Chains A and B, each alone.
Chain A
Amino acid sequence: MKVTKLYAAYADQSILEDINFELKSHLSILGANGSGKSTLAKALCGLLEYEGSIRLNGQELREIPAIERAKSIAYIPAKMQSYELFTTVEDFVLLGRYPYKQSFKDYSQDDKELVQTILNELNIAHLKQQALHQLSSGEQQLTLIAQALAQESKILIFDEPTANLDPKNTALFVKELQKLRQNHTTILITHDIQLASFFNDAVLFIQDKQAHYYKHDFFKTQTLKEAYGIDFTSSNGLIGVAYD
């Protein structure tokens, strides 16, 4: 994926200006609250109109049919947001197969088997018949991931995946993410410096509507201080905010 001269606006307000980067392998997107990380994510998924160019395998994103786009990019929101709370986990994960489903037909047996495999892998097969409202935040997060995996997209965009998780579920999530990184390209949007520095991928830091690309060396107290404008400490390779 290659982004050049990307401009995006939200409700007539310019959010991102002249963003350029190329997604070669895993990427972390960081930036302050309201800096436009989620806007960028939405533009990359084709949910938002943009100016400039986002090229996916040489093809302009806005020209790719929505169904084909869904097969290439999956987006995992920070939180399960659903009006319909009675959808079961199985049905919700099956929706990941929607782009592959034949019109007017039910999901195929293969689709259902794939979903079962994914649920087994994520250790949530026992929740299959549970409704969304019966799940804990951690289980909801895993269900969202399961749906994205069912979509079989090469690129996975995680939008603040650990924001609603307790330490145990965060650890579980990181374990899953490590597995996924082997055969997906992941984009991780996060405020969690510890998490991002653990993976130590290339970083896109968004500030004042612009993006600064760091191929490496972002996770150093001095660089972080320049980026966020506050002090960071580092000990035993762990980086964190230095509280007064």
Chain B
Amino acid sequence: MIKNVLWLSLITVALLSPFVGTAHLEYRDLLETGSLSQRIFLELRLPRVLLAFFVGGILALCGLLFQTLFRNALMTPFTLGVSGGAVLGAGVAIKLGLGLLLGISAVSLFGFLGALLTVILLITLSRYLKRAEQESLLLLGIALSFFYTSALMVIFYLSSFTETTTIMRFTMGSLSIVGFESVILLSVIAVSLLIVLYTKRFELQILAISDEQAALKGINTQRLTYFFLITASLAIGILVSLTGPIGFIGLIIPHMLRKLYQRAVDKLIFPVFILGGFFLLACDTLARYLSHSSEIPIGVITALIGGPFFIYLIISKQR
């Protein structure tokens, strides 16, 4: 029952989503080629709806992946500082005014490097932790996030007013885009991620039980874990460089689905992706519905929902 209501309401919101926004659409003009309403619909609303869906899906999948690899519901790219690393990387690229490097957008490249370096740092530091101190990894992630925020402050301090505004807007997370370029890139990332996770679902299933079980069945657990972490940081790095950090999706969605469906990780890959997509789309629709003159950043909305949820998870000690 709850499941049906949840899915039905999310799908309804998703269908209504392209019609919500500050600019008023003349519905009669929608089918008329070249009309303002149609251009707004096709060039602004539609790409944004698709972007929200793919971004939400990727964030939720990466959350599921991190939770599984670390076997802890609190471990997500966002809580471990991987998104923070990507933001700092992207911020540096914006500050330096870098355009293209080796034919790739410098902001994306730096975003990926920031995420990757954070993952490498976490792996290195976690080697000094005992198995029982897994929770300390979370503290390391939080410490890293603080460090990144401060480093970003230094960049603000060194920047001009316009640069500061650009970076500031970026750190709040935003889904406003024009055209389909980012949508295509993110759809490629989403599909690749789905393929990787689906083909490796049995390995993921064993890793979710324990490292020991995986090793006993002949899996090189270390190599596989690194492979997954690097794949996820690639996805997160590029995603964050395009949209800024959007928090808590990776935390909420996998947890919600586990509670609702009570299925193992290998059965949750597609549901997590789809629910993540719909959920962010719903949040974005809400953001656009509430906005009048200027837009409420999407990262703010997800954080307002996610923050209390995070606290609930810590208190209830759900694994």
Residues of A within 8 A of B (CB): 11, 45-47, 65-71, 74-75, 77, 81-84, 86-88, 91-92, 95-96, 98-99, 101, 104, 107, 131, 151
- How does the 8 Å CB contact mask read for B130-145 relative to A, with 1 for contact and 0 for none? 1000000000000000
Using Cβ atoms and an 8 Å threshold, which residues of chain B touch A81?
Answer: 210, 212
The answer to the question of B35 belonging to the interface, with a C-beta cut-off of 8 Å to chain A, is no
User: Is B178 in contact with chain A by the CB < 8 A criterion?
Assistant: no
Interface size in chain B (residues, C-beta < 8 A): 26
In the complex, are the beta carbons of A45 and B216 less than 8 A apart? yes
Indicate whether A70 sits within 8 Å of B264 (C-beta atoms), given known contacts A83-B319, A87-B209.
no
Which of B216, B218, B319 meets A75, CB within 8 Å? B216
B217 touches A99 (CB 8 A): yes
Task: State A96–B262 Cα separation when bound (angstroms).
Answer: 22
Interfacial residues of chain B within 197-247, with CB under 8 A of chain A in the complex: 199, 202, 205-206, 208-210, 212-213, 215-220
Residues of B within 8 A of A82 (CB): 208-210, 213
Q: Is the CB of A98 within 8 A of B210?
A: no
Q: Is the CB of B218 within 8 A of A86?
A: no
Give the residue of B208, B218, B265 whose beta carbon is less than 8 angstroms from that of A67. B218
**CB within 8 Å for A47 and B265 given contacts A65-B218, A83-B319, A95-B206:** no
Task: Point out the residues of chain B lying under 8 angstroms from A88, CB to CB.
Answer: 264
Contact (A83, B208) CB under 8 Å given A88-B264, A101-B202, A104-B199 = yes
Q: How far is the CB of B136 from chain A (nearest CB, A)?
A: 16
Task: Show 18 A/B contacts (Cβ-Cβ < 8 Å), sorted by A.
Answer: A45-B216, A66-B220, A69-B218, A81-B210, A82-B209, A84-B68, A84-B205, A84-B208, A86-B258, A86-B264, A88-B264, A91-B266, A92-B209, A95-B206, A98-B217, A104-B199, A131-B262, A131-B264
Whether A91 lies near B264 (C-beta < 8 A) is yes
Report the bound CA distance from A75 to B319 in whole Å.
26
CA distance A86 to B73 in the complex (A): 14
B263 within 8 A of A: yes
In whole angstroms, how far apart are the Cα atoms of A99 and B215 in the complex?
A: 11
B262 touching A86 by the CB < 8 A rule? yes
Q: Which B residues are in CB contact (< 8 Å) with A151?
A: 217
> Which residues of chain B are near A98, meaning CB under 8 Å?
202, 206, 217-219
A96 to B216 Cα, complex, angstroms: 9
Once bound together, how far apart are the Cα atoms of A65 and B205, in whole Å? 21
Contact A47 B209 (CB under 8 A): no
Residues on the A chain within 8 Å of B212, using CB: 47, 77, 81
B71 CB within 8 Å of chain A: yes
A87 to B202, CA, bound (A): 11
- Asked if B205 contacts A70 (CB within 8 A), the reply is no
- Closest Cβ of chain A to B127, distance in Å, is 12
B218 touches A84 (CB 8 A): no
Select the residue from B206, B213, B216, B217 with max chain A CB neighbours within 10 A: B216
Looking across the interface, which residue of chain B has its beta carbon closest to that of A151? B217
Given contacts A68-B218, A84-B265, A86-B264, list 8 more A-B pairs with CB under 8 A: A11-B130, A71-B218, A82-B209, A84-B264, A95-B209, A98-B217, A99-B217, A101-B202
Contacting B71 at CB < 8 Å: which of A71, A83, A91?
A: A83
Establish whether residues B205 and A91, one from each chain, have CB atoms under 8 Å apart when the complex forms.
yes
Contacts of A77 in B (CB 8 A): 212
CA of A77 to CA of B72, assembled, Å: 21
Task: Let me know if B319 and A47 touch, CB within 8 A.
Answer: no
B199 — which chain A residues lie within 8 A by C-beta? Answer: 104
Contacting residues, chain B, for A95 (C-beta < 8 A): 202, 205-206, 209, 213, 217
Q: Which residues of B contact A65 (CB under 8 A)?
A: 218
Would you call A66 and B215 a contact (CB within 8 A)?
A: yes
Closest 4 CB pairs of A and B: A67-B218, A83-B71, A84-B208, A70-B218
Contact indicator A47/B71 (Cβ below 8 Å): no
Bound CA–CA A22/B205 (angstroms): 36
Find chain B residues with CB under 8 A from A47 CB: 212, 215-216
Query: Which listed residue, A66, A86, A91, touches B219 by the CB 8 Å rule?
Result: A66
- The CA-CA distance from A66 to B263 in the complex, in Å, is 29
In whole angstroms, what is the CA distance A170 to B249 when docked? 46
* Chain B hits for A71, CB < 8 A: 218
| CB–CB B216/A74 < 8 A | yes
In the complex, which residue of chain A has the Cβ closest to the Cβ of B262?
A86
A64 to B97 CA separation, bound complex (whole angstroms): 53
Query: Smallest Cβ distance from A48 to chain B, in angstroms?
Result: 10
In angstroms, how far is the closest chain A Cβ from the Cβ of B195? Answer: 10
What are the residues of chain B within 8 A of A96 when measuring CB–CB? 217
B213 cross-chain contacts in A, Cβ below 8 A: 82, 95
Distance, CA A83 to CA B258, complexed state (A): 12
Residues A70 and B263 in contact, CB atoms below 8 Å apart:
no
* A69, B215: Cα distance in complex, Å: 10
- A67 — which chain B residues lie within 8 A by C-beta? 218
B64 to chain A, nearest CB (A): 12
Nearest CB in chain A to that of B219: its residue: A66
Minimal Cβ-Cβ distance residue in A for B263? A86
CA distance A131 to B261 in the complex (A): 12
Tell me the nearest residue of chain B to A48, going by C-beta.
B215
Contacting A at CB under 8 A, from B23-77, are: 68, 71-72
